[in-house]
Structure 1
């Protein structure tokens, strides 16, 4: 199965944002104040984790110009249940191009934390070697009891990357049974480490070299708070006027 890894660049390495772009962190592009999600548990404005634009191969949102937004609450880490899908501590939703304002959104008055910002300069296409049948192993609750072949491959026979990416299958830290059921499709994941696969051309106080060169990355920065070495998972359900989004994370 194909998956797509981002080649990231710092805001200082690119032109100022003038349209929706694939990016991590920062301020969202084009969201009206009434669209900015609020945590239902503490009442605080949530922080943007990522914005991704429709692409028919990489991220099918059903229509050109649509934008997927992923947020979570950062006001009181560990108190609001931002790790749980549907609990109100995070948000994952798609916006039509006609509903986007032309410009970066204004920071809400309660000053939610602004996550480390990095733009996607390009996407690298990879193949994880899994067939469609193999991919079913990563969603065991979708498999009817008795249908699994005990002599066949298992989820542990494969090693998907834990890095931020679109496509492929999830890198589960805990149980795959936490995935939403009933027509939901895994579309991508977010790592709690910002991984640069190309060395930044400018210095940044929060970016450090990765001397291990894990999976070929050159530098890293601290990303979203997903607990201890956590990964966040993005699911979509098509069928309505807009695709529905679902986000949650797991940690070690």
Structure 2
């Protein structure tokens, strides 16, 4: 089976749901990440539920024990190695799912996307991500670009397996989600033009990781 993430239209920028864009929900003690290369604030990309009852089908972060928040530098796209999980051009934070509130947003740099995009979940019997995407598009009469990625399952790599090792325990990290660039300009995430992002977490260690391929 494949759990697709599909475009659900604009939502409130602070909504406690699975989404791309908007303002991240964070713990009381949180520092907005800065790019290691340009020192500017990273852009918040996505808020994803992790390992909780119904987290992979409901879309609500309230149903998740953890929330993975993904950031990536977009101050000078292509110049800051934002595709690499360890080069300092992106960050993925694994938060406890309770007690989160909207972060204070930096006033400089490219910190927020143009649109806050809600995400619905659709579970299909097809195991192959590409096949599930085509099946959903045909069944619902919607464009394939309305599929924003997949939640959990097995990553569909574009360039070969790059599953990161947890920086704390060195074990392979668990796959959380695969992200498409978006359904249009206002929701677009820059993964090199037609690329895909891959988010991972190690829940026991409280670690997150992100990379993209094209």
- TM-score calculated relative to the size of structure 2: 0.74
Count of matched residue positions in the alignment of Structure 1 and Structure 2:
190
Q: Would you say the 8 A contact 2:46–2:71 is kept in 1?
A: yes
Aligned position for 1:38: 34
Aligned position for 1:117: 116
What is the root-mean-square deviation of aligned Cα atoms in Å? 3.0
Aligned position for 2:152: 167
Aligned position for 1:77: 77
Aligned position for 1:232: 197
Offset at residue 87 of structure 1 (A)? 1.2
Unaligned runs of 5+ residues in structure 1 are 131-157, 196-205, 207-220
Offset at residue 83 of structure 1 (A)? 0.3
Instruction: Give the 4+ runs in structure 1 shifted more than 4 A.
Output: 16-19, 57-61, 158-163
1:247 and 2:210 correspond: yes
| CA separation of 1:222 and 1:96: change in aligned 2, threshold 3 A | closer
1:5 and 2:5 correspond: yes
| CA separation of 1:70 and 1:18: change in aligned 2, threshold 3 A | closer
| CA separation of 1:113 and 1:43: change in aligned 2, threshold 3 A | same
1:93-130 CA deviation, whole Å, 9 max, x = no partner?
111245523xx32320323242132112x321123336
- TM-score calculated relative to the size of structure 1: 0.64
| CA separation of 1:37 and 1:127: change in aligned 2, threshold 3 A | farther
Q: In the aligned structure 2, how far is the partner of 1:33 from the partner of 1:73?
A: 21
Max radius of gyration: which structure? 1
Q: In the aligned structure 2, how far is the partner of 1:110 from the partner of 1:84?
A: 24
Offset at residue 76 of structure 1 (A)? 0.9
